[in-house]
Amino acid sequence: MSVDFNLTGRVALVTGSTRGIGRALAKALGEQGADVVINGRGVEAVAETVDEFTSKGIQAHAAAFDVADTEVAKHAVQAQIAALGKIDILVNNAGIIHRESLLELDDQNWQHVIDVNLSACFVMARECGKSMVENNWGRIINIASVMALVARPTIAPYVSTKHGLAGLTKALAVELGPHGITANSINPGYIVTDINEALINDPEFNELVKRRTPVGRWGTVDELAGACIFLASNSGAYTNGTMITVDGGMTAALY
């Protein structure tokens, strides 16, 4: 079988795709021929991203909504399916992080991270999965983290959701696999994005990342695109229920 990364005719919805990792993945999917649905909470940011992608020859569509609002998300997915006919590829990328000592963390902040990082991924997979089952073809790609494998202090909700996302990925894989749908996750390491700007500008933390990563540097958003394209394509059809870790070797190292 020849390698086939062509996504022409596919429709891909990428949550949180107006910036950072989500934007890079949406762009990569579009460059491979997919129609991409751009999502974010800000109407203006979504529109700007759609305009930019369209100017580059990518078929892009706007879907401004909050993935953590279950009813709104359900209706938004249904609207996109009605407009575009289907959703073939879902990239669950939208996520947040809250930094606070576990012993000081209140219930509200804990639940908010759970709602955005885990529950929303379930809702999106369920709603998009209905379209995929009808077409007997689908790809669900959850953007987890190296924190699905290890943990750091002060981010207990984030770590918990990313471990939970690994479990959700496996559950989706075994239940939806018979319908021609695969579910996998990508575990990024420390990636240069605006959300990590404060960490990058912290000399001590920046040095920690470089020291703990065998390749000696932070990753870039574009270095996640290859894994996403593979999992979304026909060439990834037999890869199901697994994690691809893109972290420069950080979780392979003991030092």
Q: Which structural domain, as residue segments, surrounds residue 145?
A: 11-250
Residue 67 inside a domain? The answer is yes
Catalytic, out of 158, 190, 238, 255:
158
Work out the average pLDDT over 168-176: 98
Work out the average pLDDT over 35-50: 98
Residue 4 inside a domain? The answer is no
- Single-letter amino acid code for the residue at 170: K
Residue 141 inside a domain? The answer is yes
DSSP state string for 224-244: GHHHHHHHHSGGGTT--S-EE
pLDDT band, residue 254 (cuts 50/70/90): confident
**How confident is the model over 9-28, as pLDDT tens digits?**
999 999 999 999 999 999 99
Residue 3 inside a domain? The answer is no
Residue 6 inside a domain? The answer is no
Residue 190 belongs to domain with CATH number: 3.40.50.720
Residue 169 inside a domain? The answer is yes
**How confident is the model over 71-88, as pLDDT tens digits?**
999 999 999 999 999 999
Residue 255 inside a domain? The answer is no
Is 255 designated active site?
A: no
| Domains of the chain: total | 1
Residue 233 inside a domain? The answer is yes
101-110, 153-162, 195-204, 208-217: range with lowest mean pLDDT = 195-204
Q: What share of the chain is helix, strand, coil (3-state, %, to 5)?
A: 50, 15, 35
